[in-house]
Chains A and B, each alone.
Chain A
């Protein structure tokens, strides 16, 4: 079982709609959760991170975390064609042997004009 699971997509939404991206993780020791956006041929860039259960909002983006269900999601409101990219979920464990992020394989989002 992969440590961080994401649906590869593509997830297709119309412009202006809400895009919902989901991620599950297997390590209950995971403490920090991150969403990265990656355009084709480019490097990942951080959108936001979340540590605590509940919601965290930043502009059009909302991250949601449910540690009991080992589930983290990213909502993108008022989706724009420029949001079309691959979204990577990443987790950080408290395990001292894991000092880097573990990434999921990403979900490709397509926003249709």
Chain B
């Protein structure tokens, strides 16, 4: 009964370091998403993947890369972290847009 699993849950990075946020879903969904949430800004779409092998930019893609490794997994990479990327990151998946399931979130701090 895992749903959408994100790792790590908490991470502190130094400016310029790189890291990858991992996301996996066990619901056989085609679509997966990465959002970031900042105070007062709501959820903003970074990247999404409509199906295995495809990825598309969202509203705020700069500074991020993604990989849809297979149908289950969708990773988000920060190549050179910046303080502006301090945020809460949510991975999500769906089969239809009216049933989006979110992971528990990853709290990232860049110092």
**Are A99 and B56 in touch, CB under 8 angstroms?**
yes
Q: Please name all residues of chain B whose beta carbon is closer than 8 Å to the beta carbon of A42 when the two chains form the complex.
A: 104-105
Question: Does A103 touch B at the CB level, under 8 Å?
Answer: yes
Q: Please name all residues of chain A whose beta carbon is closer than 8 Å to the beta carbon of B31 when the two chains form the complex.
A: 99-100
Size category of the B interface is 20 to 34
Report the minimal beta-carbon distance from A48 to chain B, rounded to whole angstroms: 10
**Are A32 and B105 in touch, CB under 8 angstroms?**
no
Question: Does A10 touch B at the CB level, under 8 Å?
Answer: no
**Are A34 and B103 in touch, CB under 8 angstroms?**
no
Q: How many residues of A contact B (CB 8 A)?
A: 22
Q: Please name all residues of chain B whose beta carbon is closer than 8 Å to the beta carbon of A92 when the two chains form the complex.
A: 97
**Are B102 and A100 in touch, CB under 8 angstroms?**
no
**Are A105 and B41 in touch, CB under 8 angstroms?**
yes
Q: Please name all residues of chain B whose beta carbon is closer than 8 Å to the beta carbon of A104 when the two chains form the complex.
A: 42
Binding site for A on B (CB under 8 A): 31, 33, 35, 40-45, 48, 50, 56, 58-59, 90, 97-100, 102-105
**Are A100 and B105 in touch, CB under 8 angstroms?**
no
Binding site for B on A (CB under 8 A): 4, 6, 8, 32, 34, 42-46, 49, 88, 90, 92, 99-106
Q: Please name all residues of chain B whose beta carbon is closer than 8 Å to the beta carbon of A106 when the two chains form the complex.
A: 42
16 additional A-B residue pairs with CB within 8 Å, beyond A43-B103, A46-B100, A100-B97: A4-B42, A6-B42, A32-B97, A43-B90, A44-B43, A46-B98, A49-B98, A92-B97, A99-B48, A99-B97, A100-B45, A100-B58, A101-B45, A101-B97, A102-B59, A103-B43
Report the minimal beta-carbon distance from A24 to chain B, rounded to whole angstroms: 14
**Are A105 and B42 in touch, CB under 8 angstroms?**
yes
**Are B100 and A101 in touch, CB under 8 angstroms?**
yes
- Offer 5 A-B interface pairs, CB within 8 angstroms, sorted by A: A43-B102, A44-B102, A46-B99, A103-B43, A103-B44
Q: Please name all residues of chain B whose beta carbon is closer than 8 Å to the beta carbon of A32 when the two chains form the complex.
A: 97-98
Bound-state CA distance A8–B39 (Å) is 10
Q: Please name all residues of chain A whose beta carbon is closer than 8 Å to the beta carbon of B98 when the two chains form the complex.
A: 32, 34, 46, 49
Q: Please name all residues of chain B whose beta carbon is closer than 8 Å to the beta carbon of A88 when the two chains form the complex.
A: 42-43
